[in-house]
Amino acid sequence: MKVGIIGQGYVGLTISAFAGEFFDVIGFDNNPRIVDQLNSGKSHIEGVDSNVLKSWIEAGRYKATNVESDLSDVDLVIIAVPTPLSPDRKPDLAFIDAACKTIGENIRKRVLIINESTSFPGTLRNYIKPAIEKYSSGPIEHMYAISPERVDPGRGDFNQKNTPRLFAGLTPEASKMTRDFYSKFCDKLVEVSSPEVAEAAKLFENTFRQVNIALVNEFAQIAHSLGISVYETLDAANTKPYGFMKFTPSAGVGGHCIPVDPTYLAAVAEEHGAPATFIRRANEVNLEMSKYVVDRVQADNGGSLQGKSILVVGVAYKPNVADVRETAADLVIEHLRERGAVVSWHDNVVGTWKSEISAPLSGADIAVVVTMHDSVKAADVVASATYVFDTTGKLKGVHGL
Ligand SMILES: NC(=O)c1ccc[n+]([C@@H]2O[C@H](COP(=O)([O-])OP(=O)(O)OC[C@H]3O[C@@H](n4cnc5c(N)ncnc54)[C@H](O)[C@@H]3O)[C@@H](O)[C@H]2O)c1
């Protein structure tokens, strides 16, 4: 069987690497730089081993391409393209639409189409299927299914094999084919009664994280005002063996999921007349954390940051990945610069970001730690500035949340 995977980013390449053991995989991406790099056997995604990629290429089971017609003879297509927010923070399905156009215009035989991109309930039935039919030159009754991706890039303990996978087809035939496909490389498949349930479950999983992170971020502010340690309090609460799950405070949330997915849920809720006040407020609390952090740093430093050299340590949105999408470091830097500070940042995992390069980890008046990669030594961070404010809870003997 030949599988086409549209989008060779975090999700698409991860699936390609697992599927390549059992199927011929065409990795379609419209970024020619990524295509060239992948065909030379180099993975650009943490967690996808270049050696695995090379071995599938050598065995003739993987090829990256940006030529749409290379998808014409696949039997199954997976959509794994971005689902971001528009500038006015509404769901933006432009990438999904482009993927549907590629499928509609290039695949003439009946195939199974599985969406792995995260989107609101109803996307498969009311958006993807009609869009593909619109772009197809003649009437083709494709099969459609959803299987939302749960990959956590950079994570070692859970992967495609041992993370249970939700799925649902629009028809029993599509469901069966979807199960047959994923069961080759995933231990546990969970079929739900409709694509809408699978789509909603994915959004709710990340909304659950978003609101709990917002709650602990608010609690960090309460604990500070009470003069108690937020970390000690959380550890104490976490001794309860049931009914509590520990989340830790931070400068905010980042990545493609937690800041974005809940807004997809809120948008569809509001469209149906259901309020999403809790979700909306959680988003605000997380966004406001960067200002709270900068306020604390300013208060500790004589009430002004004017002219101070400030090093932001760790600009990736989480440890051990180079991903800076929606990173809280961005807002922290913006607030610091607005207050007249001279800001640079250090992150050797990210390297270059917004045309700036990672600065040395030393010699600043103030360091604000947003993300601690495993490769960064705590002692070096502590010694990098006269005053250090840690938002990660990983450093001892410095200021923090
Ligand atoms: N990154 C994660 O941890 C994660 C986890 C679960 C779900 N998701 C969801 O999966 C989807 C993809 O996310 P991602 O993180 O893999 O994105 P990504 O930005 O890492 O990769 C997307 C890739 O798609 C390519 N692309 C965009 N439009 C295209 C098109 N029309 N045709 C071909 N290629 C195209 C881009 O060049 C890019 O390489 C999103 O809906 C996201 O919410 C992501």
In order, the DSSP letters of 69-94 are GGGTT-SEEEE-----B-TTS-B--H
Same domain, 320 and 252: yes
Which distant-in-sequence residues (6+ apart) come within 8 Å of 273 by Cβ? none
Q: How many A from CA of 84 to the centre of ligand 1?
A: 9
Give the H/E segment covering residue 386: strand 385-390
Which of 141, 101, 107, 147 has the alpha carbon at shortest distance from 124? 147
Same domain, 32 and 51: yes
CB neighbours of residue 11 within 10 Å: 25
Residue 29 belongs to some domain of the structure: yes
Phi, psi for residue 267 in degrees, rounded to 5: -65, -45
Check residue 276 and report its DSSP letter.
Answer: -
> What CATH number has the domain bearing residue 237?
3.40.50.720
What is the atom index within ligand 1 of the atom nearest the CA of 45? 20
Q: What is the structure's pLDDT at 112?
A: 98
Across residues 349-354, what is the average pLDDT?
Answer: 96
- Ligand 1, atom 38, residue with closest C-alpha: 9
Chosen domain end from 164, 193, 222: 193
Structural domain of 283: 204-400
pLDDT in tens, 189-210: 999 999 999 999 999 999 999 9
Same domain, 254 and 225: yes
Same domain, 135 and 209: no
Q: How many A from CA of 7 to the centre of ligand 1?
A: 6
Q: How many helices (H) and strands (E) does the chain have?
A: 13, 15
Which residue in the block uniquely carries the two structure tokens 């065995």? 59
CA distance 252 to 283: 9
Same domain, 164 and 212: no
CA distance 360 to 186: 43
Q: What is the structure's pLDDT at 256?
A: 84
Q: What is the structure's pLDDT at 156?
A: 81
Structure tokens belonging to residue 278: 């809790």
pLDDT in tens, 94-120: 999 999 999 999 999 999 999 999 999
Same domain, 307 and 337: yes
What is the atom index within ligand 1 of the atom nearest the CA of 34? 39
CA angle 328, 296, 347 (to 5 degrees): 35
Q: Are 287 and 311 in contact (CB under 8 A)?
A: no
Q: What is the structure's pLDDT at 139?
A: 75
Whether 151 lines ligand 1, by a CB cut-off of 6 Å, is: yes
Q: What is the structure's pLDDT at 88?
A: 87
Residue 311 pLDDT greater than 90, yes or no = yes
Which residue in the block uniquely carries the two structure tokens 């390449």? 13
Q: Are 370 and 251 in contact (CB under 8 A)?
A: yes
Same domain, 108 and 40: yes
3-state secondary structure of 390: strand
Catalytic residues: 257
3-state SS of the chain: helix, strand, coil percent to 5?
40, 15, 45
